[in-house]
């Protein structure tokens, strides 16, 4: 059930990114090795966003399978379902994970179009600028 | 494999992959905090574990500043994490190792009470919240628990994680090493069923070996399965009931290379 805390973290990222806009859809990229149950993640998303400005936003999960690089024979292996990391060519367990450990918010979609980016910067109060990078904490 | 989402009527379904991954993006997980802005969407590319990993790095820096070795102890419920600590704390004190324990427990202080009076500093961390309790410890929780410990007076800090073979593997808490307690009553196949967790540990303490005469447990098959998912993990056979194997565990956890 780490899906619940993951949804809290996703909501934090989305909330910082959205400014005062209404979020319609959030795209995630989730690697197979993160052991996330998609149905549980979607259920938890509804739960944690209830009564927040992100309520009703659709969560879209882009599932990334595992891609390994064997450090013994150099072959690449793509794993569809299993979580056991073995090279397909030589069965070596000495492998590097190239893909499959991601957990990213990739894109946030809004219900209404945002103001054009070309608006002169001096008209924006920097404190209110919702386009800026997330301040490091 | 593909994309999952839920419709307004509550149904969940999956589409085939709609695009090829840009592997440069998928593998380059550096600083992507700057947004690209479009008309009605923004590309964020922010890693969800970044916040935890920053807190874990801060915890590790705090340990290093005080020369404290931190070991994250994980297992399924009931494998014997607390029993191992109970047997270890007095021995560690006798060896002159000043030990602290962060005790992760969803609701009660039962485990922390079992460890009281054995010469260690104990910081209890209840993970219960409005949703019924976390299934793991994360780095910010451990940071909070550190406020209940005097790190300057410690050599070793043992983090007893929440009993669970899935979630704790996902969260770096800032420990230098990770160990799992595994009971022989759990069968031989768990490394194959929970490979992410077994891959995340440096040591497996195979506990309750006093029960081996009464079980069909094939310890060689278990070790072969472990070797399949984690060829570098060490195993130490222990009985927290009889004390067999405890010196080997104590040697491992106090070895200078743990940090």
Q: Which residues pair with B36 in a beta bridge?
A: B43
Q: How many alpha carbons lie under 13 Å from residue B112 in its C-beta half-sphere?
A: 20
Number of domains, chain A: 1
- Per the CB < 8 Å rule, is B23 touching A103? no
Which chain A residues are Cβ-neighbours of B43 within 8 angstroms? 106-107
Which domain, by its residues, includes A17?
Answer: 3-112
How large is the greatest C-alpha to C-alpha distance in chain B, in angstroms? Answer: 69
The structure's pTM equals 0.81
Are the C-beta atoms of residues B136 and B167 closer than 8 Å to each other? yes
Decide if A41 is inside a domain.
yes
Main-chain dihedrals φ then ψ at residue A10, nearest 5 degrees: -60, -45
**Chain B neighbors of A103, CB-CB under 8 A:** 47-49
Asked if B90 contacts B118 with a C-beta cutoff of 8 angstroms, the reply is yes
The CA distance from B61 to B67, in Å, is 10
CATH number of the domain that residue A45 is part of: 3.30.2320.80
Q: Is the pLDDT of residue A108 over 90?
A: yes
Tell me, what DSSP letter sits at residue B165? S
Confirm whether A118 is domain-assigned.
no
Residue B23: pLDDT band with limits 50, 70, 90: very low
Residue B228: how many other CB atoms lie within 10 Å: 17
- Say if A8 falls within a structural domain: yes
Is A71 an 8 Å CB contact of chain B? no
Residue A123 lies in a domain: no
Q: Does residue A137 carry a pLDDT above 90?
A: no
Dist CA B91 CA B74 (whole Å): 21
Give the pLDDT confidence of A62-97 residue by residue, as tens digits.
999 999 999 999 999 999 878 889 999 999 988 999
Report the distance separating Cα B27 and Cα B239, nearest Å.
43
Nearest residue, CB atoms, B4 vs list A5, A38, A85: A38
**A contacts of B47 (beta carbons < 8 Å):** 102-104
| Domain-located, residue A126 | no
* The Cα angle at residue A45 between residues B162 and A78, in degrees rounded to 5: 75
Q: Which residue has the tokens 């500093």?
A: B121
CB contact under 8 A, B48 and A5: no
Q: What is the pLDDT of residue A40?
A: 94
| B102 close to B125: Cβ distance less than 8 angstroms | yes
Under 8 Å between Cβ of B166 and B197: yes
Closest-approach residue (CA) in chain A for B41: A109
Q: Is residue A107 in some structural domain? A: yes
Kindly provide the ipTM of the predicted complex, given to two decimals.
Answer: 0.73
Confidence of residue B167 (pLDDT cuts 50, 70, 90): confident
> Higher pLDDT residue, A122 or B196?
B196
Contacts of B52 in chain A (CB under 8 A): 9
Q: Is residue A39 part of a domain?
A: yes
Is B40 within 8 Å of A6 when comparing Cβ atoms? Answer: no
Q: Tokens 């419920």, residue?
A: B77
Q: How far apart are CA A132 and CA A16, in angstroms?
A: 10
Count Cβ–Cβ pairs < 8 Å, chain A vs chain B.
139
Q: Which helix (H) or strand (E) holds B62?
A: helix B50-65
Residue A99 lies in a domain: yes
Give the minimum alpha-carbon distance from B158 to chain A in angstroms, rounded to a whole number: 22
Which strand (E) or helix (H) includes residue A48? Answer: helix A38-49
| Per-residue pLDDT, A17 | 92
d(CA A16, CA A19): 6
């Amino acid at each position: 059930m780490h899906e619940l805390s993951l949804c809290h973290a996703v909501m934090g990222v989305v909330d910082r990114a959205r400014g005062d806009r209404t979020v319609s859809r959030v795209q995630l990229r989730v690697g197979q090795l993160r052991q996330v149950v998609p149905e549980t993640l979607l259920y938890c998303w509804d739960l944690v966003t209830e009564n927040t400005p992100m309520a009703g936003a659709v969560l879209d999960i882009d599932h990334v399978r595992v891609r390994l690089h064997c450090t013994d024979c150099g072959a690449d292996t793509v794993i569809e379902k299993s979580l056991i990391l073995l090279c397909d060519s030589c069965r070596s367990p000495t492998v590097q994970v190239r893909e499959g450990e991601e957990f990213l918010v990739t894109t946030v979609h809004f219900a209404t179009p945002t103001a054009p980016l070309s608006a002169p910067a001096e008209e924006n109060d920097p404190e209110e600028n919702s386009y800026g990078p997330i301040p490091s904490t | 494999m593909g994309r999952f989402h839920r419709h307004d009527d509550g149904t969940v379904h999956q589409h085939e992959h709609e695009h090829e991954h840009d592997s440069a993006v998928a593998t380059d997980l550096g600083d992507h905090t700057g947004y690209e802005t479009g008309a009605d969407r923004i590309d964020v590319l922010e890693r969800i574990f970044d916040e935890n990993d920053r807190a874990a790095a801060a915890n590790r820096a705090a340990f290093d500043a005080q020369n404290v070795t931190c070991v994250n102890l994980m297992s399924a419920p009931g494998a014997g994490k607390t029993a191992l600590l109970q047997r270890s704390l007095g021995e560690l004190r006798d060896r002159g190792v000043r030990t602290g324990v962060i005790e992760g427990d969803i609701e009660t202080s039962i485990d922390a009470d079992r460890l009281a009076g054995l010469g260690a500093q104990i910081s209890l961390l209840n993970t219960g919240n409005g949703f019924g309790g976390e299934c793991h410890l994360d780095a910010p929780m451990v940071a909070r628990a550190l406020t209940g410990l005097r790190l300057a007076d410690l050599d070793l800090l043992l983090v007893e994680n929440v009993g669970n073979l899935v979630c704790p593997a996902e969260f770096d808490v800032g420990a230098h090493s990770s160990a799992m307690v595994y009971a022989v009553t759990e069968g031989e196949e768990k490394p194959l069923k929970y490979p992410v967790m077994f891959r995340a540990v440096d040591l497996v303490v195979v506990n309750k070996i006093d029960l081996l005469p009464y079980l069909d447990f094939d310890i060689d098959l278990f070790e072969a399965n472990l070797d399949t998912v984690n060829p570098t993990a060490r195993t130490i056979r222990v009985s927290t009931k009889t004390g067999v194997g405890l010196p080997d565990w104590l040697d491992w956890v106090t070895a200078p290379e743990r940090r």
